[in-house]
Structure 1
Amino acid sequence: MELRQLQSLIAITEKGSFAQAAEHLAYTQPTLTTHIQSLEKELNVKLFDRLGHRVRLTREGERFLGYAERILKLTEEAANAVSPEKAPYGKIIIGASETFSVVRLPELLKEFRKEHPCIDIELNFGDIAKFHDDLKNNVIDVAFILSGKVPYPDLTAEILCPEPMAFIAAPEHSLAQQTAIEVSHFETEDFIVTQAGCAYRAFMEELLESSDIKPRSFMKVKNIEAIKQFVISGLGLAILPRIYVEKEIANNSLVELPWHGPDFGMYTQIIYHRDKWLSPTLLGFLQLTRRKFGSNCGHLPPVGHL
């Protein structure tokens, strides 16, 4: 059963003859006749009675006509539902850390919602390894990550902005009085660190190991707000993106230590699968994201060359 056969059936019914219906649909009359004969053969019923110069639907044809009209209507609705010109609705699924969702996403999503008021938005939380799996399995459309080089060649990554890191301590901590902090200062310190899979935690661990420095202890905490509170309470040091601790540094509940070690090379990036079809909705979101993050936007250099 083909849509053009149903269109032919409806046109013949409305025009009352094969000739007029063929002219209306810009078909030849033999083509129209073939459509109906093929449909009658498939359904194993007669759809039209030919009475002189007029044709009328048989009773079976009358019953089938309602279904044909509904099928064509649903087909039109289905096409409109995904048409970028006609569809007012859609959905975008975004991967991000919970903290990024609080700090960076609200203004971006607010503006996107103004431009696309009927688009549904869903957030999935995780880390880069989870987002890689989710993008590969088409569970999410895009993800925001904080990372250096992206270790997955099947992902497209765009740098949105550099993310300076901050070593933080309580104001009364002994290191708060130092004028320069290097990795050797951490030999007898306690550290509060984020969950496994965090890019800047991995960088810090590699730095300590390469310098043969072993801090006294590590406390592993998944929630960044909790990390900040633990540091404020004097339980240890932490390394976090500066944007996450700006308020606490400004009100003197935290101190940023004067780090003189290597740069962490962290960037906020947006990633998506390189083979992902970028729908008009997704393209609009990417374009808005680039505008919001400003002139620092650009493609991430190849893996290993950041």
Structure 2
Amino acid sequence: MELRNIVTFLKVAEMRNFSKAAEKLGYSQSTITIQIQQLEKELGTQLFERIGKGVTLTEQGKAFIFHANEIIRVTNKAIVSTKANDSTKDTDVIAGTLRIGSVESVSTAILPDILLQFHHAHPKVEIVVNTTGRDALIDLVRNNTIDLFFTLEKKINVPGLKRTILREEKIIFVAPTHYAIPYKEKVKLEDIVNMPFLLTEQGESYRYELERLLSDKDIEMKPILEISNTETIIHLVEKGMGISFLPLFSAQTSIEKGKLSQIQTDIPAIYMWSQLFYHKNKWITPQMSAFISVAQDFFKTGT
């Protein structure tokens, strides 16, 4: 079984398109087709359904992804182990590529500081960051498209993935400081939702928790703005456009500068957890191990 055919299979599975995979790998489309046909012949099964210009994995193809990633993992481990035993190499320098996925709130408020610390310690590592929703990130980890992913939500166990780093994060209502002055006492939830609200898009974990609380009380909320970027929300709230419901770590700097204030409400405090995941069967590369260590230190110290 040719290793290059397995690499090609994983790239086609990622891109869902033969021509795009060919472009990424530097092959012609006909070469990609031949390699996949060779692999399918060796395995005795069809790996892709060809529909129009795109392709989708068959059930057999989905099952083979795990084994394909395992083959690549073992191969890479053998290469690195061999290099580590070469006395002519500088084994103290970590290099290579690190692929990280993150939900929006973490990527804008926490991830930049971790990346900066990691880069200072390991400048030879190329870092690629993918920002999207939690479910999409889980698929990317399972397909070996990314190495690690950050999420912010209630404690979860994801089949096939390992979790590291747990830090409790408080979610709060924030408003421009001048807007919040009249609300020094606790505000009823039914009163606060009548204010102009700026919210993250539906599907964000802490927004879902807010909607659950509102539903329990038969309260409806109609935000004036929905946007995935929490940094944009904070800027608009600072300028007086309305109030929002965000992780404390996202708003902390603006609160310390006096631009935002927290509005206390009559509902119990809401908490989520910062969590980092990777595939349970993935070989932990030196760059992954180093990043996890930097991230763990960051969450322990809070800096």
Q: TM-score range by the shorter chain?
A: 0.5 to 0.7
Higher deviation after alignment, 100-109 or 268-277: 100-109
What do residues 24-71 of structure 1 show as CA deviations (whole Å, max 9, x unaligned)?
xxxxxxxxxxxxxxxxxxxxxxxxxxxxxxxxxxxxxxxxxxxxxxxx
Say whether 1:241 aligns with 2:241. no
Q: In the alignment, is the contact (CA less than 8 A) between 1:189 and 1:216 conserved in 2?
A: no
- For residues 197 and 83 of structure 1, do their structure 2 counterparts lie closer, same or farther at Cα, with a shift above 3 Å needed? farther
Q: In the alignment, is the contact (CA less than 8 A) between 2:180 and 2:262 conserved in 1?
A: no
Q: In the alignment, is the contact (CA less than 8 A) between 2:103 and 2:134 conserved in 1?
A: no
What do residues 127-168 of structure 1 show as CA deviations (whole Å, max 9, x unaligned)?
211111111111100011111132632322223321112201
Counterpart AA for 2:166: L
For residue 270 of structure 2, give the secondary structure of its aligned residue in structure 1. Answer: coil
What do residues 240-259 of structure 1 show as CA deviations (whole Å, max 9, x unaligned)?
11121123223332221013
- For residues 273 and 81 of structure 1, do their structure 2 counterparts lie closer, same or farther at Cα, with a shift above 3 Å needed? closer
Say whether 1:184 aligns with 2:176. no
Separation in structure 2 between the aligned mates of residue 290 and residue 213 of structure 1, nearest angstrom:
39
Higher deviation after alignment, 192-201 or 216-225: 216-225
Q: In the alignment, is the contact (CA less than 8 A) between 1:169 and 1:231 conserved in 2?
A: yes
Say whether 1:117 aligns with 2:120. no
Say whether 1:129 aligns with 2:141. no
For normalisation by structure 2, the TM-score amounts to 0.64
Question: 2:145 aligns to what?
Answer: 139
**Which runs of no fewer than 5 residues in structure 1 stay unpaired?**
1-77, 297-306
Identical-pair percentage: 27
Q: In the alignment, is the contact (CA less than 8 A) between 2:165 and 2:299 conserved in 1?
A: no
The structure 2 residue matched to 1:259, chosen from 254, 259, 265, is 265
Separation in structure 2 between the aligned mates of residue 216 and residue 109 of structure 1, nearest angstrom:
36
Separation in structure 2 between the aligned mates of residue 112 and residue 247 of structure 1, nearest angstrom:
22
The structure 2 residue matched to 1:108, chosen from 90, 103, 114, is 114
The structure 2 residue matched to 1:272, chosen from 265, 275, 278, is 278
The structure 1 residue matched to 2:231, chosen from 225, 238, 249, is 225
Aligned pairs for 1:92-103 (under 5 A) are 92-103=98-109
Aligned pairs for 1:29-48 (under 5 A) are none
- For residues 169 and 125 of structure 1, do their structure 2 counterparts lie closer, same or farther at Cα, with a shift above 3 Å needed? same
Question: Which one has a bigger Cα radius of gyration?
Answer: 1
Separation in structure 2 between the aligned mates of residue 123 and residue 285 of structure 1, nearest angstrom:
13
C-alpha displacement of 1:97: 3.7
Question: 1:214 aligns to what?
Answer: 220
C-alpha displacement of 1:208: 0.6
Counterpart AA for 1:79: I
Question: 1:8 aligns to what?
Answer: none
Separation in structure 1 between the aligned mates of residue 132 and residue 79 of structure 2, nearest angstrom:
34
Separation in structure 2 between the aligned mates of residue 273 and residue 80 of structure 1, nearest angstrom:
19
Question: 1:165 aligns to what?
Answer: 171
For residue 265 of structure 1, give the secondary structure of its aligned residue in structure 2. Answer: strand
Separation in structure 1 between the aligned mates of residue 269 and residue 205 of structure 2, nearest angstrom:
13
- For residues 156 and 168 of structure 1, do their structure 2 counterparts lie closer, same or farther at Cα, with a shift above 3 Å needed? same
For normalisation by structure 1, the TM-score amounts to 0.63
Counterpart AA for 1:108: I
Counterpart AA for 1:107: D
Counterpart AA for 2:170: P
Separation in structure 2 between the aligned mates of residue 151 and residue 280 of structure 1, nearest angstrom:
25
**Which runs of no fewer than 5 residues in structure 2 stay unpaired?**
1-77
Question: 2:79 aligns to what?
Answer: 79
C-alpha displacement of 1:174: 6.7
Separation in structure 1 between the aligned mates of residue 193 and residue 119 of structure 2, nearest angstrom:
49
